Amino acid sequence: MIKVNFEKAEEINNIGKHVAGAKSHIADLLAGKIDMTGWVDHPIKYDKEEFSRIKEVANEIKSEAEVLVSIGIGGSYLGAKAAIEYLSDYYSHRTVRANGNTVGADIIRPNGVEVIFVGNGLSEKYLKETLDYVEGKNFYVNVISKSGGTLEPAVAFDKFKALVEKKYGHDALKKRIIATTDKAKGILKEEADREGYRTFVVPDDIGGRYSVLSAVGLLPIACAGFDIDKLMKGAEEARSIYTLLDENKNDAMKYAIIRNLYYENRKDIEVFATLSPNMQYFAEWLKQLFGESECKGNKGIFPASLNMTADLHSMGQLMQDGKRNMFETFIMIENDYDETRVKYNDKFFVNDLNDIALRATEKAHHTGNVPVIEMKVAEQNEATLGELFYFFEMSCAISALILGVNPFNQPGVEEYKKNIKELLK
Ligand code: PA5
């Protein structure tokens, strides 16, 4: 379970101001009174038949291929990327933990394929080098786009489809391409039906940035060798806690309220500080979730991120002494170590130093007038990741609703997509 410490966030004493509002927002989310809230009950209501198919296809890919090329952008990319980084060992993409429960007892086993992400930008060099890298390998393609028409993934898909045809022949498209898209509409769905690709569905009532626990995230995560049952179980447990209408038991609610209180006090930047290098993409996922859900109508908290302790030696200056318009949310893995511990001296392991650095930094920033919220997660495994995803999705939705914005649309992103289509004409 995520342990949240609000001790250095004085606004905790004023949460009463928004408690009634937050509770009614949670009740509305649970009652489905707001559009695009399929993610709220998804951990208990997800399509079990599709879930089994995801595992079957992942097993086929793991037994036959070396690489899965995952094509997507934004919500169709960041969740899976964050998850695979969070769960992987640092120096081997093909080794994963057999037992996500206890770090010390884990056995390392090579059972996942390398998952490569493309279609998340328009760098010609990146695309070309990825095509070259994949060409010599045995690969499958998972193209992920809810709308089916987003430019960046469409460009990459075009090239990887051509590579499948060149390498394996036209008939292999049916086997090697898996499309994750809308159940009925969009050009990707039309093409999948025409060409006979296997498909998975991005549920109608779940928007891109809330979709990591659907096929969007699950297929790449399963292909990387991770246990998606445990991931969903973690999310299910999180759902049972973070939908409670009791501020003393529901830290997602408290956190959402506190963010708003800081915003009302002119703290309009939230810095997410992580202390494990493999959490950097989790921070990117957070930035998309909060930035796209909350920042609209000229309102919202700018989400930023820092990678500790490295950034203490650069951005630490700004955090300590720059403009006082931010608050900081630390996310720390308590047991950030492998089976073989690394000692610093007779008294401390290196992980203890990470914890001491956290305390020293929190104290310094708090003294420097940056309110601090601390979250600690016991260890990095599928269950804690499922919990983290759900915790932040729920707190982001509540937070945006308190602020008075719709957390589930993205008019700004649509504007860019519209402009680029115009220019391409
Ligand atoms: O959260 C969102 O809605 C966006 O970030 C989308 O996920 C992103 O733009 C990709 O869209 P699509 O899946 O339709 O290609």
Q: Tens digit of pLDDT for each residue in 165-195?
A: 999 999 999 999 999 999 999 999 999 999 9
Question: Residues 292, 362, 374, 387: which is the catalytic one?
Answer: 292
Decide if pLDDT at 412 tops 90.
Answer: no
The confidence band for 203, taking pLDDT boundaries of 50, 70 and 90, is very high
Q: What is the mean pLDDT of residues 336-344?
A: 90
Quote the pLDDT of residue 419: 87
Quote the pLDDT of residue 100: 45
Report the b/e string of 76-109 with b at 16+ CB within 10 A.
Answer: bbbbbbbbbbbbbeeeebeebbeebeebeebeee
Decide if pLDDT at 135 tops 50.
Answer: yes
Mean pLDDT for the chain overall? 93
Residue 412's CB is within 10 A of a number of other CB atoms, namely 11
Q: What is the mean pLDDT of residues 312-335?
A: 94
The confidence band for 425, taking pLDDT boundaries of 50, 70 and 90, is confident
Decide if pLDDT at 96 tops 60.
Answer: no
* Ligand 1 center from residue 121 Cα (angstroms): 13
Going by C-alpha positions, the residue among 129, 132, 6, 112 that lies closest to residue 61 is 112
Q: What is the mean pLDDT of residues 376-388?
A: 96
Q: What is the mean pLDDT of residues 369-377?
A: 96
Please state, for a pLDDT cut of 70, what percent of the chain lies above it: 96
Helices (H), 243-381: 251-264, 280-294, 316-321, 350-367
The confidence band for 92, taking pLDDT boundaries of 50, 70 and 90, is low
Decide if pLDDT at 36 tops 50.
Answer: yes
Q: Which of 26-35, 213-222, 408-417 has the lowest mean pLDDT?
A: 408-417
Decide if pLDDT at 93 tops 90.
Answer: no
* Ligand 1 center from residue 219 Cα (angstroms): 17
Decide if pLDDT at 209 tops 50.
Answer: yes
Q: What is the mean pLDDT of residues 16-23?
A: 98
- The residue contributing the CA closest to ligand 1 atom 12 is 145
Quote the pLDDT of residue 361: 94
93 is catalytic: no
Query: Which secondary structure element, helix H or strand E, spans residue 118, and what is its range?
Result: strand 114-118
The confidence band for 89, taking pLDDT boundaries of 50, 70 and 90, is confident
Instruction: Give the number of residues written for the chain.
Output: 425
d(Cα 172, Cα 167) in Å, to the nearest integer? Answer: 9
User: Ligand 1 — pocket residues by CB below 6 A?
Assistant: 73-76, 145-147, 150, 153, 207-209, 292, 410, 413
236 is catalytic: no
For residue 329, list its beta bridge partners. 272, 373
Q: What is the mean pLDDT of residues 44-73?
A: 96
The confidence band for 106, taking pLDDT boundaries of 50, 70 and 90, is very low
Q: What is the mean pLDDT of residues 346-350?
A: 97
Decide if pLDDT at 111 tops 60.
Answer: yes
Output the CA torsion 412→300→306→113 (10° steps). Answer: -40
The confidence band for 234, taking pLDDT boundaries of 50, 70 and 90, is very high
Decide if pLDDT at 108 tops 60.
Answer: no
For residue 302, list its beta bridge partners. 269
Decide if pLDDT at 94 tops 50.
Answer: no
